Amino acid sequence: MRVVFIFLLVNVIFALPNKDMNDFEMLEYSTNIDNPQYRLLDNVQPTFMYVDLDVYLSESRFNGVVRVNVQVQETLKQIVMHQNLVSITAVNVVNANNQPVNLQFPNSFEINSYYQVLKINFASNIEPGQYTITINYLGQINENPYDRGFYKGYYFVGNETREYATTQFQPYHARKAFPCFDEPQFKCPFVISITRDASLLPSYSNMAIHSTVEVSPGRIRETFFPTPVISSYLVAFHVSDFIATDTLSVPGRPFQIISRRGPTNQHGYATVMGVRITEALSYIFDINYYDMGQGSSMKNDHIALPDFPSGAMENWGMVNYREAYLLYDEAHTNLLDQVFISIIVGHELAHKWFGNLVTCFWWSNLWLNESFASYFEYFAPHWVEPLLEMDDRFVVNAVQTALSADASEGATPMNWTEVVNNPSIDSHFSTTSYDKGAAVIRTMEHFVGYLTFANALRYYLKDNSYGIAYPEDLYNAFRRACAEDPIFQFTYPNVDVGAVFNSWVQNSGAPVLNVDVDMDTGRINITQERFQLSGTIPDTIWHIPITWTHSGSPNFQNLRPSFVLSNKTTTIYKPAGHHWVIFNLQHSGYYRVNYDDHNWQMIASQLRRNKDTIHKLNRAQITNDVMFFLRANKTSINRAFDVLSFLRNESDYYVWNGVLSQLDWLRRRLEHLPRAHEEFDVYLLELLEGAVQQLGFEETLTETVSIIQSRMLIMNYACELGHEGCINDSLAKWRQFRNDTTYLVPKNARRYVYCTGLRYGNNDDYDFLFQQYINSENAADMVVMLRALACTRSNVSLTHYLTQSMRNKKIRAHDKSSAFNYALQGNRENIPIVLNFLYNNYEEIRQTYGGQARLNVCVNALATHLTDFDHIVNFQQWLYAQQISLGTAFNSGLNVINSAMNDLRWANNMAPDIFAAIRRTNASATVSASIVLLLVSLVAHTFH
């Protein structure tokens, strides 16, 4: 047996392909490339980079020269950098004495396009020390924004099309503009130099312009001041004829909004919020933003881009945004978009400290950057404008969004060690790194107290300024701050705050507390486990800070946890007596809570009698939780709908926001049972009626932000369900707008008014709104119209809409796949038209929407809407017929089919019990016993 093994081994060695032999040959090199070769070792450190670009915008190309000073820390025969350029034309290296260093001949340098690296090979070993590498190269300006890197966009001045070029380098696209060490751990100052056509206005970069030189007739070179020490993904530059405004700038504190010429009057709101948020964060962190320049003056530019593949990008000194996320028009930007502008500006400004000043060492711990930005995107605007109610909004936007994602069996941890290559990097820019991390940070804030929380962040930022950080650095900052807090020490003796934090960072998913109450004795048994909608539940333990109250003495205001649950189970006591208990006050902790059935019954009764006894954020938590428990078969259908019955008297935005999406999830899964779907719509309309009556159809000047948003949410859904009053009011507003364009539909009502107008209108109504879209100068309002256009019931108009999404340049790259999704959402009747559009045009969709990834997005969007068995069968047949040409969209399609079939099975199993439960909880007994019997029959024959 041993002889056979040796024989086989010899044959394997001699059968190795050339690629593997090359890998063996590489072992003789002492190099700075890691394994796998996406990564670089830290034995070569950049200390300064000079990037000189000669940009030819109209030709979509540039010539580049990079000069990088490096510190070599051990003997090497090769230095590797990242690159993804058209070509490298020359490489030379000199030592600290400016003497040439001989390169290997031939093959002085090599390009590996798969790993996107440049390998510089030396003739002999080089010793540790300082070296300067100069690289000449050719690059292209990408014409598809989704290719990122240095890319081109366009805009209109009247009928004239104009172009600009800008950057999006995160996470690994700087290498498309210049060779570099393209990982967050490699930080150094950069000097950027841009040569452009003289017909354009001055370019922008991270820093202010240091010098301007006419290098030849019609060609201008601008060189910018050195940046602070930064990672390559934060370098940025922009070439255009955009206009800047600086209405609130003061000496030493510049603040500019920059855009194309048309909407410069829409700069004001972001300016006010941006200036105030910058000041607030500078104060909280005790590090002044404008002092971060390390000898150069920091600027604070914010650029609105017609085309941008991301929402925004936190480049130090020059933040890029989609226009809709920065520009505010008082007459046309609705409240939700206004709030989102504040959120995005807050997010990007928070990055100046978390991400720019202190940077995660590798993308596996992206949360060190993004979670804090996602936390402060709510709380920084809240501090400067409390009327926006950002603190309450955080619960429904961040906490519940993260808990929903973490309910999946495949949820990943905040620290995801499997991030090793470019695809895995992309996938970690996710709800886990953003919303979940932010929710965990909010949990920690309540746990340690705000002052100690702020002190911990100051220690973390100051101790790691201009460097990279690891989670342990953050934990140590919290340990130090908590050690100085006598209240924390007294309240939580022997609790390691770092261990508490780390349990949330390392564990996948999120916990649920199972709470069982003995009313006679007051004994409360608590068990923690991971919450999942399906699959095998792993045995995971978190350190969970616990808040709770009971109806004997309800107090929802004390958000300081009373203890930390660090074991699987524990027991606590309340006074003996028949009182409900509620855990996780104001949803301040990142966990769900499931009670014994009797406690749920008491909560449901309390909510019906006097819902306001229970805090609105706990009502939001309770309704969202109970719907997820229903989906996971963790509570009975009867009890879930019993708990929801109080919604007939509820109009609060935060309560409805969390539960309405789940009710809609259930409604969509009943679409293949037409009579059941109709009856469920009746049930939902009765549930919504109280809110419709309380809110009314007209906005008043004294209303709070949450009331306005509640009306936007409720009326949009009520009109979709066919609420007569909502439809009549919307049609009246729409017809007034059609007859007199000087009348503006109230901006906060436009989404449902426009949609209703088209849903109950004709081709002329569609054509009218489409022309309004084409003529608009406000990007956010254009998105509202783009969504509403898909509400048309005209096959001709919807086909025009879908065709325009591919071919009309007014529909931006980042809005094209959204238009496809809006077409699915517009009406149930749209589905076959959208499917046929996909079947007949998927090649053009891939090309015009922005590439393979955008086609995948469109295919994935079908999952929620394929509720008809025949549609699923036809989709499957098309999918297999086009398997090769669909590329990775084929696997997306398989996932869609599996998801759609699972939804149908779930609904078939649950539908009879759901309607029996509705009948029991519905005071008007709208759903009769006969419908339950009918459902049983329908379910039995669904797949016959």
Q: Tell me the sheet residues that pair with 94.
A: 100, 132
**370 labeled part of a ligand binding site:** yes
Which is the catalytic residue, given 314, 323, 348, 377? Answer: 348
Helix (H) or strand (E) holding 594: strand 592-595
Token look-up 């719509």 returns 681
The string of DSSP letters for 149-200 reads EEEEEEEEETTEEEEEEEEE-TTTTGGGTS-B--STT-EE-EEEEEEEETTS
Distance of alpha carbon 255 from its chain centroid, rounded? 26
How far apart, in whole angstroms, are the C-alpha atoms of residue 681 and residue 612?
27
- Which tokens is 199 given? 């017909």
**28 labeled part of a ligand binding site:** no
How far apart, in whole angstroms, are the C-alpha atoms of residue 893 and residue 839?
12
CA angle 672, 675, 681 (to 5 degrees): 90
Helix ranges (DSSP H) in 494-576: 497-506
Cβ atoms of 262 and 241 closer than 8 Å: no
| Cα–Cα nearest to 166, from 178, 152, 179 | 152
Annotate 74-96 with b (16+ C-beta within 10 A) or e (fewer): eebbbbbbbbbbeebeebebeee
- Which tokens is 521 given? 């004795």
**351 labeled part of a ligand binding site:** yes
The beta strand positions in 450-574, using DSSP E, are 467-469, 511-518, 523-530, 544-546, 548-550, 563-565, 569-573
- Which tokens is 444 given? 């920690």
How far apart, in whole angstroms, are the C-alpha atoms of residue 669 and residue 677?
9
How far apart, in whole angstroms, are the C-alpha atoms of residue 840 and residue 444?
52
Token look-up 């041993």 returns 2
Note if 348 is an active site residue. Answer: yes
| Cα–Cα nearest to 583, from 608, 566, 565, 605 | 565
Can you give 802-834 as a three-state secondary structure string? HHHHHHCCCCCHHHHHHHHHHHHHHCCCHHHHH
What angle, rounded to 10 degrees, do the helices at 889-921 and 852-861 form? 20
Provide the Cα torsion 232, 233, 236, 239; round to 10°.
110
What angle, rounded to 10 degrees, do the helices at 852-861 and 813-826 form? 20
Provide the Cα torsion 800, 803, 805, 807; round to 10°.
-120
Rg of the chain in Å (alpha carbons): 30
How far apart, in whole angstroms, are the C-alpha atoms of residue 760 and residue 165?
42
Listed in sequence order, the residues at least 6 apart from 131 whose beta carbon sits closer than 8 Å to its beta carbon are 69, 70, 72, 79, 93, 94, 95, 96, 101
Helix (H) or strand (E) holding 127: none
318-322 and 301-305: which strand pairing?
parallel
Token look-up 């050690």 returns 483
Token look-up 């405004």 returns 245
Q: Is 466 helix (H, G, I), strand (E, B) or coil?
A: coil
How far apart, in whole angstroms, are the C-alpha atoms of residue 77 and residue 120?
9
- Which tokens is 611 given? 């819902």
How far apart, in whole angstroms, are the C-alpha atoms of residue 636 and residue 606?
19
| Cα–Cα nearest to 57, from 129, 140, 118, 126 | 140
How far apart, in whole angstroms, are the C-alpha atoms of residue 496 and residue 564?
11
Tell me which residues are annotated as active site. Answer: 348
Q: What are the binding residues?
A: 347, 351, 370
List binding-site positions for Zn(2+): 347, 351, 370
